[in-house]
Chain A
Amino acid sequence: MLAQLSFRERNLALCAAGLVMLVGLLVTAVGWQDLIAVHGVIAALYTAGIIALLLKHRKAPAPSPERLKEYYDDPTKIGILLCLVWGVFGMAVGDWIAWLMAYPDATFDAAWASFGRIRPVHTTGVIFGFGGNALIATSLHVVQRTSRARLPDQFSPWFVLLGYNLFCLLAVIGYPLGITQSKEYAEPEWYLDIWLVIVWVAYLVLYLRTLARRQEPHIYVANWYYLAFILVVAVLHTVNNLAVPIAVGSTKSYSLFSGVQDAMTQWWYGHNAVAFFLTAGFLGMLYYYLPKCAGRPIYSYRMSIISFWGITFMYMWAGSHHLHYTALPQWVQTLGVGFSVMLIVPSWGSAANALLTLNGAWHRVRDDATLRFMMVAAVFYGLSTFEGSFMAIRPVNSLSHYTDWTVGHVHSGALGWVAFIVFGSIYSLVPWLYKCKGMYSKYLVEIHFWLALSGTLIYLISLWNAGITQGLMWRTYNESGELTYSFLDSMIAMKPYYIARGIGGFLFLTGACLALLNVVMTIKQASRESSRSDASTRAAAVDLPVAGAPQS
């Protein structure tokens, strides 16, 4: 794989890795009394590993210029594996904290294992590790195919992928140690935030450069979404993480915002992270892999347009619905309600566009679990966006807020939409990438589908029940005007639901493990077959870019 890099690219990679390693060591030296040193050491080890690999292949013969006439998929291949490994890890931690809610003593009396520290390990693991790697891997695949152009160089995709994973790794190791700036989904401290900005800008530039080289007159919808995702996340991340570190050698920093401004900035970020990280990027995935797999044209180009612009324009203003009935001035809340309700139709537009695209291919949905994954994803996308708009209405929110209904809502999107579309896309993408007829086992895909669906339904139904029960118990008064239930009563009432959620999560996790297994076996099988025949070169002939990469 590394032998594909030109000599110049190998040297560039060595320099970049060396630079990061140097920074890591410097941070360790400056902050050796602070926890930041742990991060410095890990960053140095991580880059040392990369440097060792590069040095091993430094003397490898120069790659054939023929390769520049093909698409560059190596980073996508590694990205898919990273995505699945993060997925299994993040979901395992998710199931652990799920059981922790039912049996709170399962922390081995260790501070690092307490709920508050492990929870962000789960959220970062699944959102950024699993979701983020899936987005990077598929976006690089999709942008090349729909532009019919090869990536402009071979260094920057690796910089983006490996740099991004370094960010995730450091973040996840930091939380159990207590390194966090306590902003949900933006927990990593200032120096990691800076690192992510560098990686993200490289990602944006790589994406734009590829698009600029496209051989199609128009830019396909999937790329609109991927681009919106990359661009908006850059803005959100930068603004929400503006902070002043207390010292260069310290993990600790203070946010630029305070009080209600801080809360509003955080939820402007938080809500748009859902919109542009967990929605827009995955819609890009949906718009490529679903029609490709179904073999049907997109139902309506016009619907794509109103959905895209509706979502990009209106999501921005909806974040205040996370702060109903708080110190946030009411007028800000009202604006959020309006935009949240206006969001339903564009959202449903995307879901409907996807489902109507399947018209004429429903027999395939029945027979092919891969396509069924994507179909269910579209259904859950519709369900959770409707639920979200509903929960944004103030009186509804007064019941749902602070309860497990919110968590149920998140997971209707996270499991039903995000994870389903990722699995569907990976199951269709892996055989294409490795040029084989299908996944190693169709049955495992089928089993995974039913495990994932039943796990999701158990999770959602138990938490909807839990949330509404909780919400009602907290607002029931007896005839003397006193609260009827204590908080403890509501906790005791939650226990069966928490246990059910733990079981549902376990089913979902089992499915994710099967996916990892299936993908690894497919790769093994493909490499065995390609060494036996030249079938791969024949299959590749149809999947070639018009614009190869410039010689370097």
Chain B
Amino acid sequence: MSLIERDNHSGYTTTGHEWNGIKELNTPIPRIVLICLAGTFLFAVTYWYLMPSWPLGDRFYPGKLGIDQRTTLAEQTREADKLKRSWIQSVEAADFEAIYFDNALMAAVNDSGARLFEDNCSMCHGRLGVGNLSYPSLADESWLWGDDPTVIYETLRVGINSEHPESRNAIMPAFGQMGVLDAGTIDDVVTYVRTEARLPVLRTRDASKRLKAGQATYKLACSGCHGTDLKGNQSIGTPNLVDRYWLYGSDKDSVFESIWSGRQGHMPSWEARLEPYERKLLAVYTTTLD
């Protein structure tokens, strides 16, 4: 069908085609559209002229301004480092004692230290450092290796049971799995340890006998690492068993599991990932958690 008509509403004519009742007007393209079209083309061409753009075989047109994103990035990083350098040096130069007494540095600890902790540590130790099952709280008075900032700084550097060649090692042997102790003997030790920790224990008829047996086994197999007083040993990172803080749970089954299958928490080494000043801020920040 080809019949040119005039549309009453707009006053324009149709193109004369019709498809199932649909017609099209032959309205000219509004000037503003053409101007905008030209504007965007102009923008694109100018931008291409100034910046690296069209490929030329094995090279590309480098752009009038000679801008390159890699050099820009390198420059910006250098600028930022320059700004930070004196501040970083003051952190690196100060020993831990000095940091605690320097208000400006402590402000940095509370600010950047907190951010570094959230970005790097919170997934394991929790945002407030209160830990989780298998991940120690850093906000209580119970410590595996000690709460001295130098100790923490070293822990951060080498990690615990990590891949770092100088890693701290803290391995609770799997007494049951390795066949050193049988289940009954472990049950007795569990009873002994939980009694000493003032946890409620089932009062059976042979309770005192089992407690004695447990105590004997403890002396023999455990005291070397956890101490005769069960208070652990921070120089080798063994936990205190009577301080009401439990890394792997205090119920009978969890304690049994710790002894039967052993434990070996993994704390990564941060030497390759964080700068010394960052680890320093973190060490101090960790001691301020509570």
- Nearest chain B CB to A299's CB is how many angstroms away? 6
Most chain A CB atoms below 10 A, which of B14, B67, B119: B119
- A481 interface residue (CB < 8 Å to B): yes
Q: Residues of A contacting B290 with CB < 8 Å?
A: none
Quick check: is A438 within 8 A (CB to CB) of the other chain? no
Q: Which of B20, B24, B37, B112 contacts A345 (CB 8 A)?
A: B37
B132 CB to nearest chain A CB (Å): 14
Check if B115 sits within 8 Å of A486, measured CB to CB: yes
Residues of chain A within 8 A (CB-CB) of B167 are: none
Q: Do residues A301 and B26 form an inter-chain contact, with CB atoms below 8 A?
A: yes
A483 and B115 alpha carbons, distance in the complex (Å): 8
B242 located at the interface, meaning its Cβ lies under 8 Å from any Cβ of chain A in the complex: no
Q: Out of A359, A481, A486, which one reaches B83, CB within 8 Å?
A: A481
Chain A contacts with B in 94-145, Cβ cutoff 8 A: 145
Q: Which residue of A lies closest to B9 (CB)?
A: A360
Which residues 507-540 of A sit at the B interface, judged by CB distance below 8 A? none
Say which one of A179-187, A330-338, A368-376, A443-451 lies at the interface with B: A330-338
Residues in A with CB closer than 8 Å to B54 are 331, 335
Q: Would A338 and B22 be within 8 Å (CB), given that A359-B10, A483-B115 are in contact?
A: no
Is A313 an interface position by the 8 A CB rule? no
| Contact across chains for A298 and B33 when beta carbons are under 8 A apart | no
CB-defined contacts of A331 to chain B, threshold 8 Å: 51-55, 60-61
In the complex, the answer to whether A345 meets B26 with C-beta atoms within 8 Å is no
Q: How far is the CA of A352 from the CA of B37 in the complex (A)?
A: 14
Report the minimal beta-carbon distance from B205 to chain A, rounded to whole angstroms. Answer: 41
- A308 vs B84: C-alpha distance in the bound complex, in angstroms? 53
Q: How far is the CA of A297 from the CA of B36 in the complex (A)?
A: 25
Chain A residues lying within 8 Å of B20, measured Cβ to Cβ, are: 145-146, 148, 292
B165 at the interface (CB under 8 A from A): no
Are B44 and A339 neighbours in the complex by a CB distance under 8 Å?
Answer: yes
* Residues of chain B contacted by A306 (CB below 8 angstroms): 29, 33, 37
Is the CB of A377 closer than 8 A to any CB of chain B? no
Q: A145-B19, A325-B69 are in contact. Are A302 and B41 (CB under 8 A)?
A: no
Contacts of A482 in B (CB 8 A): 84, 108, 111-112, 115
A247: CB under 8 A from chain B?
no
In the assembled complex, which residues on chain B have CB atoms less than 8 Å from the CB atom of A342? Answer: 40-41, 43-44
- 1/0 contact string of B205-225 vs chain A (CB within 8 Å): 000000000000000000000
A480 engages B115 (CB within 8 Å): no
Give the contact stretch, choosing among A17-25, A215-223, A232-240, A261-269. Answer: A215-223
B residues within 8 A CB of A349? 33
Contact: B29 with A302, CB < 8 Å? yes
Give, as a whole number of angstroms, the nearest-CB distance from B272 to chain A. Answer: 20
User: B122 is contacted by which of A483, A485, A488 (Cβ under 8 Å)?
Assistant: A488
Known: A334-B48, A338-B48, A341-B40. A146 touches B119 (CB 8 A): no
Q: Is the CB of B119 within 8 A of A488?
A: yes
Q: Which B residues between 34 and 93 are near A, CB-CB below 8 angstroms?
A: 36-37, 40-41, 43-45, 47-48, 51-55, 60-61, 63, 67-69, 80, 83-84, 87
Q: Does A489 contact B (CB under 8 A)?
A: yes
Within A272-310, the residues touching B (CB, 8 Å) are: 288, 291-292, 296-304, 306
Asked if B28 contacts A300 (CB within 8 A), the reply is yes
Contacts of B26 in A (CB 8 A): 300-302
Q: A488-B122, A488-B127 are in contact. Are A329 and B60 (CB under 8 A)?
A: yes
Query: How far is it, in angstroms, between the C-alpha of A296 and the C-alpha of B10 when the chains are bound?
Result: 11
**With A145-B19, A218-B17, A342-B40 as contacts: A297 and B24 at CB distance below 8 Å:** yes
For residues 313 through 355 of chain A, which have their beta carbon under 8 Å from a beta carbon of chain B? 325, 329-331, 333-335, 337-339, 341-342, 344-346, 348-349, 352
Distance to closest chain A CB from B230 (angstroms): 36
Whether A303 contacts B27 by the Cβ 8 Å rule is yes
Q: Tell me the count of chain A residues lying within 8 A, CB to CB, of chain B.
A: 52
A298 contacts which chain B residues (CB < 8 A)?
A: 22-25
* A52 vs B269: C-alpha distance when bound (angstroms): 63
**For the complex, is B15 an interface residue (Cβ under 8 Å from A)?**
yes
B interface residues, tally (CB under 8 Å) = 55
A487 at the interface (CB under 8 A from B): yes
Q: In the complex, which residue of chain A has the Cβ closest to the Cβ of B50?
A: A334
Contact flags (1/0) for B238-265 with A, using CB distance below 8 Å? 0000000000000000000000000000
CB of B2 within 8 A of CB of A217, answer yes
Candidates B10, B28, B48; contact of A302 at CB < 8 Å: B28
In the complex, B7 has a CB within 8 A of chain A: yes
User: Does any Cβ of B come within 8 Å of A64's Cβ?
Assistant: no
B21 located at the interface, meaning its Cβ lies under 8 Å from any Cβ of chain A in the complex: yes
Residue interface mask B102-120, A partner, CB < 8 A = 1? 0000001001101111110
Q: Chain B residues with Cβ under 8 A from A255's Cβ?
A: none
- Residue A484 at the B interface, CB < 8 A? yes
**Could you say which residues of chain B place their CB within 8 Å of the CB of A346?**
37
Residues on B with beta carbons closer than 8 Å to the beta carbon of A335: 48, 53-54
Complex partner residue of A297 from B22, B41, B114, B122, CB under 8 angstroms: B22
Task: Give the distance to chain A from B91, nearest Cβ to Cβ, in Å.
Answer: 9
Q: Are B17 and A359 in contact (CB under 8 A)?
A: no
The residues of B that contact A359 with a CB separation of less than 8 Å are 9-10
B90 to chain A, nearest CB (A): 10
For the complex, is A551 an interface residue (Cβ under 8 Å from B)? no
Within 8 Å of chain B (Cβ to Cβ): is A258? no
Q: Give the CA-CA distance A360 to B67 in the complex, in Å.
A: 52
Closest to B59 in A: A331
Which B residues are in CB contact (< 8 Å) with A478? 111-112
* A302/B60 in contact, CB under 8 A: no
A483: B residues at CB distance < 8 A: 115
Instruction: Pick the contact of A338: B9, B19, B47, B116 (CB < 8 A).
Output: B47
The list of the 4 closest CB pairs from A to B, nearest first, reads A338-B44, A486-B118, A300-B27, A360-B9
- Please give 19 more A-B residue pairs, beta carbons under 8 A apart, in addition to A338-B43, A489-B115: A288-B22, A292-B20, A300-B27, A301-B15, A302-B27, A303-B27, A303-B29, A329-B52, A330-B68, A331-B54, A331-B61, A338-B45, A341-B43, A341-B44, A346-B37, A348-B36, A482-B115, A483-B115, A488-B127
Binding site for B on A (CB under 8 A): 145-146, 148, 216-218, 220-221, 288, 291-292, 296-304, 306, 325, 329-331, 333-335, 337-339, 341-342, 344-346, 348-349, 352, 359-360, 478, 480-489
| 13 pairs, A vs B, C-beta closer than 8 Å | A145-B20, A297-B22, A298-B24, A299-B25, A300-B25, A302-B28, A334-B53, A335-B53, A349-B33, A478-B111, A478-B112, A481-B84, A486-B119
